């Protein structure tokens, strides 16, 4: 099987499983050990079979469970030096042999899985997205991203499966309870991607061959799954792309597993 499943998505915790044949990789570990083990079991997988954990950045909803899981399951993890420095005191002791320092914009392999990392704009030290090269097309995980320019678009275009942030609806954010400073932080180009920005990006991707879409990291306060999905469908309708014919779409869930997306 080649595909992906979002085990959890959102500010309550993020964790995504990528599978390419017998290679299994986790992107981010923002859930506790019990949830991690249970979510993998529901996906038909085991922590003992995970070959690596990739970290995107240091925010707690992406790393809060990392230390416990490293100690319990001895899974190698991959992280930039800047991000490691910021979480080192919080994750506790771990076997140093599990650590793999990576650099942005580099390629590396985990077993037979080639991974391409690239930087994205977000209010963290060094936020990465990851593209997984597979024999049946590429899978890209790109969340916690404040904007998409041509450089980033070039990194993700051609992905057959994309897990892309659709964090907030602009009207809900504008009229919601957040203080102005937080609203500005979310929408300033280095925070999160809006539904409209996500839809615009997906138009470029679907025109270039993207077939499967997972909308991820939805805000609990400033979005709703139905709004995010409708915005994407309407955006793609404008280029003549028809849901369930030209592309398959799902919204990643906050507190439970999403469905497997296979390519």
Q: What pLDDT score does 261 carry? A: 97
Q: What pLDDT score does 78 carry? A: 98
d(Cα 234, Cα 244) in Å, to the nearest integer? 14
pLDDT above 90 as % of the chain:
100
Tens digit of pLDDT for each residue in 49-58?
999 999 999 9
Closest CA to 74 of 95, 101, 92: 95
Average pLDDT of the residues in 201-206: 98
Average pLDDT of the residues in 135-155: 97
Residue with tokens 């879409």: 213
Per-residue pLDDT band for 30 (boundaries 50, 70, 90) equals very high
1-115 domain in CATH 1.10.10.10? no
* Average pLDDT score, the chain: 97
Torsion 91-164-52-121 (CA) sign: negative
Q: Where are the domains of the chain?
A: 1-115, 145-251
What are 14's two structure tokens? 């993020």
Average pLDDT of the residues in 240-252: 98
d(Cα 92, Cα 139) in Å, to the nearest integer? 31
Q: What pLDDT score does 248 carry? A: 98
Give the three-state DSSP class for 228. helix
Q: What is the side-by-side strand order in the sheet with 212-216?
A: 107-110, 113-119, 128-133, 139-142, 161-165, 212-216, 248-251
Q: Which residues pair with 162 in a beta bridge?
A: 140, 213
What are 44's two structure tokens? 């038909």
Average pLDDT of the residues in 195-209: 98
Residues in the chain: 263
What are 135's two structure tokens? 């024999």
User: Residue 223: CB partners within 8 Å, gap ≥ 6?
Assistant: 166, 167, 168, 169, 172, 195
Q: What pLDDT score does 153 carry? A: 97
Q: What pLDDT score does 141 carry? A: 98
| Whether this model's pTM surpasses 0.95 | yes
Per-residue pLDDT band for 77 (boundaries 50, 70, 90) equals very high
């Amino acid at each position: 099987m080649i595909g992906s499943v979002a085990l959890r998505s959102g500010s309550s915790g993020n964790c995504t499983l990528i599978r390419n044949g017998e290679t299994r990789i986790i992107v981010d570990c923002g859930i506790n050990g019990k949830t991690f083990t249970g979510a993998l079991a529901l996906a038909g997988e085991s922590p003992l079979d995970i070959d690596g954990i990739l970290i995107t950045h240091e925010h707690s909803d992406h790393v809060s469970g990392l230390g416990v899981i490293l100690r319990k399951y001895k899974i190698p993890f991959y992280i930039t030096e800047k991000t490691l420095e910021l979480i080192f005191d919080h994750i506790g002791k771990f076997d140093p042999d599990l650590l793999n320092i990576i650099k942005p914009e580099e390629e590396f392999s985990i077993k037979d899985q080639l991974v391409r990392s690239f930087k994205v704009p977000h209010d963290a030290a060094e936020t990465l997205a990851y593209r997984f090269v597979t024999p049946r097309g590429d899978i890209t995980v790109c969340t916690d991203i404040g904007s998409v320019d041509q450089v980033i678009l070039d990194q993700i275009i051609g992905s057959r499966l994309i897990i892309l942030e659709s964090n907030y609806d602009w009207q809900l954010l504008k009229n919601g309870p957040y203080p102005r400073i937080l609203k500005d932080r979310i929408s300033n180009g280095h925070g999160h991607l809006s539904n409209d920005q996500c839809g615009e990006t997906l138009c470029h991707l679907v025109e270039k061959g993207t077939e499967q879409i997972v909308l991820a990291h939805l805000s609990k306060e400033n979005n709703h799954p139905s709004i995010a999905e409708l915005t994407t469908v309407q955006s793609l309708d404008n280029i003549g792309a028809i849901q369930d014919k030209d592309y398959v779409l799902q919204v990643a869930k906050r507190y439970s597993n999403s469905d497997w997306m296979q390519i």
